[in-house]
Structure 1
Amino acid sequence: MCGIAGILSAARTVNAGAVQAMTGLMAHRGPDGAGLWENPNGRLVLGHRRLAIIDPSPASAQPFVAGSIVLTFNGEIYNYREIRAELITRGHVFATEGDAEIIVAAWRQWGEACVEFFNGMFAFALWDEDRNLLFCARDRFGEKPFLYVEGDGFFAFASEYKALLTLDGVSAAVEDGRLARFFVAPADGLDRDERTLFPAIRQVPPAQVMIVDGRTLERRSACYWTGRPARKGRRPSLPEAAFAFRDLLADAVRLRLRSDVPVGSCLSGGLDSSAIVCLARRELGESTPYHTFSGRFPGTSADEGPYMDAVAAATHPVRHEVEPKPENLLAELAQFSWANELPVDSASQYAQYCVFRLARQNGVKVLLDGQGADEIMGGYEQYFSAYLRGGGTDSPLIHSRYGDALTQVQPWHTRLPPGLRRLLARTVHKGSDISFGLTGDVRIERRPPPANLHEALCRDSLDGFLGTLLRYGDRNSMAHSVEVRLPFTDHRILEFVQGLPVEYLMGDGETKRLLRTAMDGILPDMVRLRWRKHGFVPPQVAWLHQTLLPAVEQAVEESSLSPLWDRAWWRSAIRRFRAGDTSQAAGLWKLLACESWRVHFLAAMASRHKFQPLL
């Protein structure tokens, strides 16, 4: 896990000092070393910050040079040993034990198709001097970032926005409409297409490669994976599918335990992280110490302690716990906003930030986590609508366990034009839609509802909020120099799930039915058969009442309040919250997060020295 950066020019000399400044701003991503490589004509400089995980020897330091090929790489190729064995049979010889050299050899063997062999999370840039091209690639789900700009005579890339924004000529202007749409409909995300919140900065979308011509800087992109289901054979029974899935998930965990430094797990009281801890224990055996890291909210309904205790009793980990508190969030809001680079949609991301820091404080550099299972396997109760729409069998259990998922009736006023809805809400002082607090109309292009469950899961996994959640995970973990690995985003799992009948996923009123069935006898039933667990969410209402509301009030009254927000509406929302209208909590948090980001990221970047990318 690392930070990567580089600048390529077709005709002029690159300022190596600019690349060094870019990687310096990302030192948190790689505190174990720094590297810089410049090609002989001075028209390409690659930079790297290293977090040593696999083969921490100097031989695997980056940028990794192998003859005419140079690589700067962020992430891990989990199946590097299997690929290495295959490449050895094809005549390749290796000088290191790491995965960076595997990427170089795979490029030599298979060219652009090399990424199809990789099981991992990655973003890399590979310079091929003989072909005079820069080959850039990003993993299938977009776990690792790849941001870039096309400047006047140069192409620059980096792992984080702050690195690119330090370049002269790269504007930090924000597309306010896109920002507003994110707050109104966060499920649409900011992370799935080429555009970003900054018009000057673009990104390589997940599951894409991009070739940059070294002579002309012309770009060519291609998608290498779409999540299509694995080839179908005989339809398995549910027990057979669950058995096969358990082996597949266990293998995903096994691959992600590969490391030359300590590995642990996040542990909440939910099905996903608990399943990973149980499978990791089976893989490691009882004698190997295994550390888990949890966030607790004692004395509130958000506390997951009893469920964590049940998993711990079955797996005997070395437990570590932290209690995120609102006063600490307020004290750390500047650092938290700087680390995340974009506004944060929920206070739950601060809790995640605290758990990752706890791991680093205890000497664990790699964590397994359960992110992605809800979107890939049908973990949200709202998926029951798509399940039934596509022919899934109705069941009384759906209505008894998840009745709200099917009884939500669209109020008449939601069908009014946005401007009229806003006027009505302001007149009667009701409503919690954050769009009411915006100064202008925010037009959301509503996609038609998914035709079936598989479409809903594929959409959310590959073109929905999961991408934003992965960005949060990347920034929050990297802020503390911790690598997070996600077994459920093993691409084989999505392909497998997409090929199964929907009854195996949400039949009999069960979310994530396949996972629950597969974990029978492995995961304590107290967790396995738990219904209506809603993520790792702090008591946000209590946090506002206890500590955060004065900060929101201060932000609303600041003369520098973003023109995005209608000050009068938010004054009213604060009054209503104080009077007991807790539906305002989510909006109040979003305003605080946005204004903190403007002050602690945008303004902080504006005050920094800019570097000329070219000499």
Structure 2
Amino acid sequence: MCGITGFVDFKKNSGIDVLRKMSDALLHRGPDDGGCEVYEAPEAAIGFGQRRLSILDLSPLGHQPMHFGDLIVNFNGEIYNFKEIRKELEEKGYTFTSWSDTEVILKGYDCWGIDVVQKFIGMFAFALYDKRKQQIILLRDRAGVKPLYYYWNEEVLLFGSELKALYAHPAFEKKIDVNSVALFLQFSYIPAPHSVFHRTFKLLPGHYLTIDLSSRRQQLTKYWEVFDHYNKPKLSLSDAEAIEQTDKLLKNAYEYRMVADVPVGLFLSGGYDSSSVAALLQTGRAEKLKTFTIGFHENEFNEAPEAKKIAEYLGTDHTEWYLTAKEAGSVLDRLPEIYDEPFADNSTVPTVLVSVLARKQVKVALSADGGDEIFGGYNKFNQAERYTSQMPPFVQSLLSGTMSLINPQYIPFFNSKYNFATRYEKMRLIWKSHDPVSAVKYISQYITEKEAESFLGQSFERYHTFFEDGRLLEHNDGTVNRLLAIDYKTFLVDNNLVKMDRATMSVSLEGREPMLDHRVIEFLAQLPSSLKIRNGVNKWLLKEVVHRYIPKALMERPKRPFIAPLMVWFREDLKEQLRYYLSERCLSATGVFAHGPIIQLRDEYLAGKKVNYQKLWQVLMFQLWYDRWIEKL
């Protein structure tokens, strides 16, 4: 696990000093070793910088950038099946000097070209310089577990695992893209390929970008697409067969994520996703797994007691930490340093702190992100299907049209209900669309497009996101599988995986996502929707697997979201921070917001009115980000 960065400077103005600054910005991702090299090509100066967190082959032989003949690679991630690929290469005559997966990438590319990526089981983002072809290749894994940003201004290409590495290059232009800010306000994250800045992009998962040095031509190529697997005919399996095959596949995927030359632990919330990882790995294992949980003193948010019961039943070595508002407040100021693009998932605070807890004992931690997206865990899937099927389309159109004529603020009784105007607008748009995929988009919005315009004080361009790609999915199995495919390409990659990667890496902890093995994804995509949500029961298939290892009575409980109790803290310990950063002076300083609607919302919230605190949290996170990365630089 590492951080990578670099440049391709066609004006040849970039050298080793600026590359070291870019690499040093990623020190937290790899404090064990670092390498910076600049290569002079006829057309450009090329810089590869890397920070290493030693997980496999702890010796100096794993140093990067790594060379083999005319190939140079800069790699972040893990190839879990590297030993099998290495054996295949040895049979073809290749020899190896290290036990690192990086060397396997290089020699695998030399043998099979870019098609070697189809052999990889893992999480990865890498830059490869092919001197023979005079090409630079930037590549990202199928799920997008490992991040990769790039910036292009016709003269300089910059890339890095985090935006802060790009900030360190003098050619990088921090021109805020208001259209992306609008996306951030709506979803609490900025969907790929967009970023907060103009000319700056996230490399899409399952893609690689090729830069031809002689022509400066860029080509974005897709090597894997989750839609392809959801569009395949569904497998005809009995319930028992589906449970058995899922169990075996998960077990194999989970065991792969235990491969390391350093201590490994796992995050345990007590829900089905993390419990499945703990159960399948601990069962039959003599050594006790180390499990970690964050708890809250506010009972409605606290999962720690349930997690402890699961840990005791499975026999893991369990550690828990109960957070206070003061401890959460200490993290608040660190969030913009950790999340160097505006990001407002409301579980960042506990995720950062559970990473702090785990890093005291282990260097690798397994998470269970992806379970809700691949097994059907979110209520929004049920809601989207229900809202768009409970009445004929012509009735939905009639209702939507009528709602557009009525201001919800003037509807007696209902206008005093929690977040009513936003919910009213969402239902109007859902009934207008008649489409469950569009419904998931609107349900996922914390702030509607209309509200975003109000907050920004201007209209904005509606950027395309994968929420608009429902038409590319076959209608061969109801709606659930289509909704899961869309969520996989939006909320999972740009919210959950960003949250976990930055939180773990902020304390030099490698986070692994065992449920996002592409073999698991491909298999589950071909299973009928009825195995995922059945008779209103979400994650039916995963629950049946878990019940093989943990009694149902121990697992069955109301689901609690893994979020910090912000709505309590904002009115108490964190009130002054909210007042300061959402003041007229601070809001006006960004040049992005119309402060009036935001201050009104802030004051209504602090007065105890039924306002969605998440809206204020999103603006606050932007303000903290702006203060750290724009105002202070």
User: Displacement, 1:359?
Assistant: 1.3
* CA deviation string 1:286-335 (max 9, x = no partner): 3x132111110124211112311221112222222223333233333332
2:307 corresponds to: 308
> How has the CA–CA distance of structure 1 residues 417 and 438 changed in structure 2, closer, same or farther, with 3 Å as cutoff?
farther
Give yes or no for the alignment of 1:175 onto 2:177: yes
- In 1, Cα distance between equivalents of 2:313 and 2:364: 22
Contact 2:279 2:550 in 1 (8 A): yes
2:443 corresponds to: none
1:520 corresponds to: 547
- In 2, Cα distance between equivalents of 1:355 and 1:421: 41
For residue 266 of structure 2, give the secondary structure of its aligned residue in structure 1: strand
2:530 corresponds to: 503
Q: 2:487 aligns with which of 447, 455, 460?
A: 460
1:349 corresponds to: 348
Contact 2:266 2:292 in 1 (8 A): yes
> How has the CA–CA distance of structure 1 residues 521 and 332 changed in structure 2, closer, same or farther, with 3 Å as cutoff?
closer
User: Displacement, 1:134?
Assistant: 1.4
Q: 2:515 aligns with which of 488, 507, 516?
A: 488
- In 2, Cα distance between equivalents of 1:414 and 1:214: 57
User: Displacement, 1:379?
Assistant: 0.5
* CA deviation string 1:408-465 (max 9, x = no partner): 99996995389x779999xx89756442544234676774878611111011102445
2:603 corresponds to: 575
> How has the CA–CA distance of structure 1 residues 443 and 424 changed in structure 2, closer, same or farther, with 3 Å as cutoff?
farther
User: Displacement, 1:164?
Assistant: 0.9
User: Displacement, 1:22?
Assistant: 0.1
2:627 corresponds to: 599
User: Displacement, 1:338?
Assistant: 1.1
Contact 1:170 1:200 in 2 (8 A): no
2:283 corresponds to: 282
2:617 corresponds to: 589
- In 2, Cα distance between equivalents of 1:306 and 1:254: 27
Contact 2:178 2:460 in 1 (8 A): no
1:53 corresponds to: 55
2:259 corresponds to: 258
- In 2, Cα distance between equivalents of 1:463 and 1:571: 30
1:298 corresponds to: 297
- In 1, Cα distance between equivalents of 2:154 and 2:229: 43
> How has the CA–CA distance of structure 1 residues 570 and 149 changed in structure 2, closer, same or farther, with 3 Å as cutoff?
closer
User: Displacement, 1:272?
Assistant: 0.5
- In 2, Cα distance between equivalents of 1:74 and 1:346: 24
Contact 2:34 2:50 in 1 (8 A): yes
* CA deviation string 1:100-123 (max 9, x = no partner): 011111111211111111111111
Contact 1:375 1:466 in 2 (8 A): no
- Counterpart of 1:365, as a letter, is K
* CA deviation string 1:518-559 (max 9, x = no partner): 12221342454335x143112221111221222111222241
Give the TM-score of the pair, scaled to structure 2.
0.85
> How has the CA–CA distance of structure 1 residues 109 and 389 changed in structure 2, closer, same or farther, with 3 Å as cutoff?
farther
User: Displacement, 1:577?
Assistant: 2.2
User: Displacement, 1:155?
Assistant: 2.1
1:213 corresponds to: 212
User: Displacement, 1:494?
Assistant: 1.6
> How has the CA–CA distance of structure 1 residues 594 and 410 changed in structure 2, closer, same or farther, with 3 Å as cutoff?
farther
Map residues 560-571 of structure 1 onto 2, 5 A cutoff. 560-561=586-587, 562-571=590-599
User: Displacement, 1:564?
Assistant: 3.8
> How has the CA–CA distance of structure 1 residues 31 and 345 changed in structure 2, closer, same or farther, with 3 Å as cutoff?
same
1:610 corresponds to: none
For residue 3 of structure 1, give the secondary structure of its aligned residue in structure 2: strand
> How has the CA–CA distance of structure 1 residues 558 and 579 changed in structure 2, closer, same or farther, with 3 Å as cutoff?
closer
Give the TM-score of the pair, scaled to structure 1.
0.87
Contact 1:143 1:467 in 2 (8 A): no
> How has the CA–CA distance of structure 1 residues 439 and 390 changed in structure 2, closer, same or farther, with 3 Å as cutoff?
closer
1:397 corresponds to: none
- Counterpart of 1:538, as a letter, is A
User: Displacement, 1:166?
Assistant: 1.8
Contact 1:516 1:529 in 2 (8 A): no
* CA deviation string 1:200-228 (max 9, x = no partner): 31232110011111223321121011123
2:67 corresponds to: 65
> How has the CA–CA distance of structure 1 residues 153 and 437 changed in structure 2, closer, same or farther, with 3 Å as cutoff?
closer
Map residues 47-446 of structure 1 onto 2, 5 A cutoff. 47-151=49-153, 153-186=155-188, 189-193=189-193, 195-227=194-226, 228-229=228-229, 235-282=236-283, 285-286=285-286, 288-360=287-359, 362-385=360-383, 415-416=403-404, 431=420, 433=422, 434=447, 435=451, 437-441=455-459
Give yes or no for the alignment of 1:2 onto 2:28: no
Contact 1:6 1:46 in 2 (8 A): yes
Contact 2:470 2:482 in 1 (8 A): no
Identity of aligned residues (%): 27
For residue 46 of structure 1, give the secondary structure of its aligned residue in structure 2: strand
Contact 2:234 2:528 in 1 (8 A): no
- In 2, Cα distance between equivalents of 1:585 and 1:389: 25
Moved more, 68-77 or 34-43: 34-43
User: Displacement, 1:232?
Assistant: 6.2
Moved more, 366-375 or 541-550: 541-550
- In 1, Cα distance between equivalents of 2:103 and 2:289: 29
Moved more, 533-542 or 273-282: 533-542
> How has the CA–CA distance of structure 1 residues 282 and 383 changed in structure 2, closer, same or farther, with 3 Å as cutoff?
same
2:434 corresponds to: none
- In 2, Cα distance between equivalents of 1:105 and 1:535: 44
1:471 corresponds to: 498
- In 1, Cα distance between equivalents of 2:398 and 2:314: 45
Aligned residue-pair number:
580
- In 1, Cα distance between equivalents of 2:515 and 2:507: 23
- In 1, Cα distance between equivalents of 2:16 and 2:489: 36
> How has the CA–CA distance of structure 1 residues 130 and 414 changed in structure 2, closer, same or farther, with 3 Å as cutoff?
farther
- In 1, Cα distance between equivalents of 2:83 and 2:56: 11
Contact 1:149 1:200 in 2 (8 A): yes
1:612 corresponds to: none
Pick 1 or 2: higher relative contact order, CA cutoff 8 A, min separation 6. Answer: 1
For residue 467 of structure 1, give the secondary structure of its aligned residue in structure 2: helix
Contact 1:414 1:421 in 2 (8 A): no
RMSD: 3.0
- In 2, Cα distance between equivalents of 1:554 and 1:424: 33
1:31 corresponds to: 31
